[in-house]
A and B are shown apart, each in its own frame.
Chain A
Amino acid sequence: MQDSCQKSSMLIPSYLDGELSEEQAAPLRRHLMECQPCRDLAQDEQAMKRWFIAEEAPAAPPGFAARVARRAFAGDAGVLTDSEFALQPHVAGSGNTEQEDPTLRFVLQLTAIAAAVLFCLALAIRTHDLPESADLGASEDYSQVVEKLMRMNAAEEAAADEIPGLPRKDADDEPMNRKTRK
């Protein structure tokens, strides 16, 4: 692949997203005019976008906002366990954490796990989503479910409550070298 092709192949997605400055877009357009392989590439990218069709969004049901506001002001904390509060391995900076009774911690963890299991089960039942409730109930015994959730919790503790995949050290996340943005 030629150098200029290599460069334009990196720019094409951003170009199609409308994210290039005119300064960056103009030379790319010139290249596309004279380079069939890069034009094909751009066409491929466009073809892929046709898989992302905007379906009609489901509307919030009538009275939703009033209901949520009422629950919020009534002190309803919701049913999902909150990873930030429930699943922290240590409470940062609080002095007595280290002496914390390990049994207590275990019980707390179990409680969190039980809440998560209950929530999933409740949803599965509510929505008559039979295959999923079968997943949780019939095909695995309780200890397997607990073990699975323990693993998930461990993974989550690593991720804290940040948006997933954020400042973790994935080799994946090296920003591309682009000198200038608009």
Chain B
Amino acid sequence: MEPAPVHDLDLVQEALEGNQLSFQLLVERYQDKLFSIVRQYTRNPVEIEDIVQEALLKVYRRLDSFQKQSSFSTWLYRVVVNTALDFLKRCGRNPVRAVEDLEIVPENNPPRIAAPDANMEQEEIARVTHEVLLELPEIFHTVIVMREFEGLAYQEIADILGISIGTVESRLFRARARFKEHLLRSHPEFDPTV
């Protein structure tokens, strides 16, 4: 018979009491998810591993400050996304954009964009998308990753980012508009209106 799964919070508590194996189990539980999230910020496997590891070391150092009103995974995702963004900034990639940039929003009429060509390889699509995402301001990049790649519900995104559902919604709206704009700029052939 399968033993009942141990709750995250129990593992956290055991890790705090000095049980290294409990922390290892927590890592095992989430590591694939974390690799997959960080993958949306860099496609370099060495960097992905370094970032996930950094985030986990940070999580361990702050384990005692973890506020148990949020779920462990929510907190973990938040730290991982922050670590990935920190990394990009420190290496001079995806710098913080000026506020004006965020305010120029095609509020009513986002551009239209065609689906990728049927003959495009999956890998090629992913590469183009990744490049476009890296051009977006980080707040937009992050909501797209969470929604489109991780398939998180608005409520989950709101919890991780500490914002309201309405803000998630409006940010996603703007993020997608911005995504289309940037994609069209680098690949005008996907403008369906021409």
Chains A and B bind each other: yes
Stretch among A28-36, A68-76, A91-99, A100-108 lining the B interface: A68-76
Residues on B with C-beta less than 8 A from A64 are 27, 31, 49, 53
A172-B97 Cα distance, complex, nearest whole Å: 13
The answer to whether A152 and B183 touch across the interface, beta carbons within 8 angstroms, is no
Residues on B with C-beta less than 8 A from A178 are 166, 169
A138 is an interface residue with CB less than 8 A from chain B: no
A154-B102 Cα distance, complex, nearest whole Å: 19
Q: In the complex, which residue of chain A has the Cβ closest to the Cβ of B47? A: A123
Residues on A with C-beta less than 8 A from B114 are 47
Partner of B85, one of A126, A135, A164: A164
Residues on B with C-beta less than 8 A from A166 are 161-163
Q: Which interface residue of A67, A136, A165, A167 has the most chain B CB atoms within 10 A?
A: A165
Partner of B113, one of A47, A119, A163: A47
Residues on A with C-beta less than 8 A from B129 are 51-53
Residues on B with C-beta less than 8 A from A46 are 115
The answer to whether B53 and A68 touch across the interface, beta carbons within 8 angstroms, is yes
Question: A52-B148, A53-B125, A162-B162 known; A17 and B154 CB under 8 Å?
Answer: yes
Instruction: Tell me the residues in window 48-72 of chain B with beta carbons closer than 8 Å to chain A beta carbons.
Output: 48-50, 52-54, 56-58, 60-61
Q: In the complex, which residue of chain B has the Cβ closest to the Cβ of A85? A: B61
Chain B contact-residue range equals 35 or more
B9 is an interface residue with CB less than 8 A from chain A: no
Residues on B with C-beta less than 8 A from A120 are 90-92
A71-B36 Cα distance, complex, nearest whole Å: 22
Residues on A with C-beta less than 8 A from B58 are 78, 82
B residues adjacent to A (C-beta < 8 A): 18, 20-21, 23-25, 27-28, 31-32, 34-36, 39, 44-50, 52-54, 56-58, 60-61, 78, 81-83, 85-87, 89-92, 95-96, 99, 102-103, 105, 112-116, 122-123, 125-126, 128-129, 137-139, 142, 144, 147-149, 153-154, 160-167, 169-174, 176, 179-180, 183, 192
B interface SS class? helix
A130 is an interface residue with CB less than 8 A from chain B: no
- The smallest C-beta distance from A86 to any residue of chain B, in angstroms, reads 11
Q: In the complex, which residue of chain A has the Cβ closest to the Cβ of B163? A: A166
Residues on B with C-beta less than 8 A from A71 are 53, 57
- The smallest C-beta distance from B27 to any residue of chain A, in angstroms, reads 4
A22 is an interface residue with CB less than 8 A from chain B: no
11 examples of A-B residue contacts, CB within 8 angstroms = A19-B154, A44-B113, A49-B148, A52-B129, A55-B123, A64-B27, A135-B92, A149-B90, A163-B142, A165-B142, A172-B139
The answer to whether B139 and A164 touch across the interface, beta carbons within 8 angstroms, is yes
Partner of B169, one of A61, A170, A176: A176
Knowing that A13-B169, A58-B35 touch, tell me 16 more A-B residue pairs with CB under 8 angstroms: A47-B114, A47-B192, A53-B126, A54-B149, A57-B36, A65-B31, A68-B56, A70-B20, A72-B57, A78-B53, A81-B90, A83-B86, A120-B92, A123-B47, A123-B50, A170-B102
